[in-house]
Amino acid sequence: MERLSEVFAGFPSQEKVAKMMLRLGASVRDGNAYCGEVELSDTALGRAAGADRRVARMTIQKIERDPELKRFFAGLRPIALLSDVAPQIGCSVLEIRPTNASTPGILADVSAVTLAAGVSIKQAVIDDPDGADVHLLIVLDGSLPPEFIPSLRQCRGVASIVLR
C-alpha cells in the first residue's frame, strides 16, 4: 500500500510494524492493535516486527492520527490461510505466479479450469505482502487431475504453477 510508505517515510521501523499488521490483518481501534477481538500488546507487536514496544506504540498512534489509515486499519480482519494445512483436511494447493499481477482474469480462467475438472475451490487468496512476490494460492477440495495442468498453463497471465 503506497499510503503506508508516504506516512512512514523516514521511519522504517514503524513502516515495518505497519506492514506486518497489514499482513496479519491486525486492526487498530481505540488506540490499540487487535487480531480479531484479541488485543495485541505493544511489546508483542513490536517483537513480532523486529522492533520494540515504543515503535509499535508510535506506529499505532500515527495510524490513528491519519484519517485514511485509521479507516483502513479499523476495517482489517484476520483470516485463516488453509494452504499450509490443506493435506490435513483432504485438500491440495495450487500456487500460481503471474506474469503480471494486474492482468485481469487470472483467477477467472483458473477457476474455469477447476470447474471443468469438477474440483471445488475452498479458498483463494492473492498474497501480495509488499508487491514484490505476488502469488495466488488456491486451496482445492481434493486434487486436480494431472490432465488439467496443461489447461492451467494456458490461462492468461500465468507464469508458473506449483501443485502441492
Q: Which tens digits make up the pLDDT trace of 36-66?
A: 999 999 999 999 999 999 999 999 999 999 9
CA dist., res. 15 & res. 74, Å (int): 17
- pLDDT category at 18 given cuts 50, 70, 90 is very high
Grid look-up 493435506 returns 87
Q: What pLDDT score does 130 carry?
A: 54
Tell me how crowded residue 143 is: count the other CB atoms within 10 A of its CB.
16
Mean pLDDT of 89-115: 94
What values do phi and psi take at 12, rounded to 5?
-60, -35
Architecture of domain 83-163: 2-Layer Sandwich (3.30)
Question: For the chain, what are the domain ranges?
Answer: 2-74, 83-163
Task: Give the torsion sign (CA, 3, 66, 26, 46).
Answer: positive
Q: What pLDDT score does 70 carry?
A: 96
- pLDDT category at 5 given cuts 50, 70, 90 is confident
Q: All 3 cell numbers of residue 94?
A: 495450487
**2-74 has which CATH code?**
1.10.10
Comparing C-alpha atoms, which of 4, 68, 78 is closest to residue 37? 78
Q: Which tens digits make up the pLDDT trace of 139-160?
A: 999 999 999 999 999 999 999 9
CA dist., res. 47 & res. 57, Å (int): 12
What values do phi and psi take at 157, rounded to 5?
75, 5
Query: Percent of the chain having pLDDT more than 70?
Result: 96
